[in-house]
């Protein structure tokens, strides 16, 4: 169990089609092929058919990440998104030596992340734009990689690899290093945008008047829901110091009149609402802590209210999808974990909930919508 201050800090930083009924009929579950996705091709083992495959996979991953981070941080990506640029112009924009930058650009060209026009100038593409959108994620991989080097000693010593690498638990370390916290926050914003695309395309919420995003951080998901569902109102709930930072963004969104901003801790109490969203929250906590969060929500839900838990769901048989790699990431970063659907069912049953709808997402976070049992 975490101490109060660490738990509050942790809460602060983390924070289309009709969904499937639960239990879903076998014929109604959208397959990965239907969604244009296959997890088989993601299996790392596919790169172990030859020594060349192993080398190229890992070499590209390590040094490709470094090249993309350099382009993003030096402003090269942003400059290209403004329009075509020569090597000299990019070197000036990034305050970088032209010969070495030219080699970085050659790498990005070779891997089809940028292009050249007929005059030899470098040109941005849709993939370049994604480099910029995912900048927080790429930056965060450096922290993840450093922490992951301590996985073996961390498990043997009973200390999280992150704490072993950086000298403090993750959120305490972020509190002392705002630059790292900001990079992680940018990564989480990127993840929120990915989740929104899935939710709005695949999981339509039943009619509601008020939605409360519990642990909603800067309000990205809540604002997205309000845009998607006109005429509704929202409650942004997070720690007081977090919602204070979120207020200017909420007001600038043009939706401020539809949002109530409430500060507090979900370990103590939460506001009343018709729909609750709990995005990437439960995977950060032990089962007993999850039961406390769920119990606090249940105790104040309006009649007929629903709770949408948005999290990874592990498959019953191990598959090379996003959830299983994130489960290892949780082991590296902190004491949380990803769960199978049966694990979620047990949490819900213990707190008086039952699954009503389940929308699986083989590409990332699924949606489990629950009601009072």
Q: Are 294 and 348 in contact (CB under 8 A)?
A: yes
Active-site annotation holds for 283: yes
Q: Both tokens of residue 215?
A: 């642990």
Instruction: Give the N- to C-terminal CA distance of the chain in Å, as an integer.
Output: 28
| φ and ψ at residue 235, rounded to 5 degrees | -120, 120
DSSP 7-64: HHHHHHHT---PPPBSSPPGGGSPPTTTTT--SGGG-GGGG-SSHHHHHHHHHHHHHH
Helical (H) or strand (E) element with 11: helix 4-13
Q: Both tokens of residue 42?
A: 């993601």
What are 122's strand-pairing partners? 85, 116
- CB count within 10 Å of CB 306 equals 22
Q: Both tokens of residue 106?
A: 């050659």
Residue with tokens 């989480």: 188
**Sequence-ordered alpha helix ranges (H) in 203-284:** 220-228, 240-252
- CB count within 10 Å of CB 236 equals 29
User: Coil, strand, or helix at residue 262?
Assistant: strand
User: Coil, strand, or helix at residue 312?
Assistant: coil
Q: Which of 173, 175, 203, 283 is catalytic?
A: 283
Burial label for 89, CB within 10 Å (0-12, 13-18, 19+), is middle
Q: What amino acid positions are annotated as catalytic residues?
A: 283
């Amino acid at each position: 169990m975490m101490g109060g201050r660490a738990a509050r800090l942790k809460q602060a930083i983390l924070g289309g089609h009709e969904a499937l009924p639960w239990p879903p009929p076998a014929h109604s579950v959208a397959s990965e092929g239907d969604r244009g996705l296959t997890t088989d091709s993601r299996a790392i083992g596919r790169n172990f058919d030859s020594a060349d495959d192993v080398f190229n996979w890992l070499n590209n991953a390590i040094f490709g990440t470094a090249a993309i981070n350099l382009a993003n941080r030096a402003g090269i990506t942003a400059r290209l998104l403004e329009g075509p640029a020569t090597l000299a112009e990019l070197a000036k924009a990034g305050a970088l030596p032209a010969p070495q930058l030219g080699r970085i650009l050659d790498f990005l060209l070779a891997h089809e992340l940028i292009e050249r026009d007929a005059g030899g100038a470098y040109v941005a593409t849709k993939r370049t734009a994604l480099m910029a959108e995912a900048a927080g994620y790429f930056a965060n991989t450096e922290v993840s990689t450093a922490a992951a080097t301590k996985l073996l000693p961390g498990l043997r010593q009973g200390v999280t690899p992150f704490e072993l690498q950086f000298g403090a638990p993750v959120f305490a370390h972020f509190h002392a290093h705002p630059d790292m916290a900001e990079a992680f926050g940018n990564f989480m914003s990127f993840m929120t945008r990915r989740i929104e695309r899935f939710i709005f395309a695949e999981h339509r919420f039943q009619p509601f008047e008020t939605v409360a995003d519990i642990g909603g951080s800067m309000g990205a998901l809540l604002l997205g829901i309000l845009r998607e569902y006109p005429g509704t109102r929202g409650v942004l709930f997070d720690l007081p110091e977090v919602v204070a930072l979120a207020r200017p963004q909420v007001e600038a969104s043009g939706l401020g009149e539809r949002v109530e901003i409430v500060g507090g801790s979900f370990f103590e109490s939460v506001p009343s609402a018709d729909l609750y969203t709990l995005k990437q929250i439960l995977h950060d906590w032990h089962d007993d802590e999850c039961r406390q969060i769920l119990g606090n929500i249940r105790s104040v839900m309006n009649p007929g209210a629903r709770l949408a838990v948005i999290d990874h769901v592990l498959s019953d048989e191990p598959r090379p999808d996003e959830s299983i790699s994130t489960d290892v990431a949780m082991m590296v970063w902190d004491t949380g974990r990803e769960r199978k659907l049966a694990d979620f069912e047990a949490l819900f049953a213990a707190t008086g909930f039952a699954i009503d709808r389940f929308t699986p997402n083989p590409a990332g976070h699924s949606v489990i919508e629950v009601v009072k049992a």
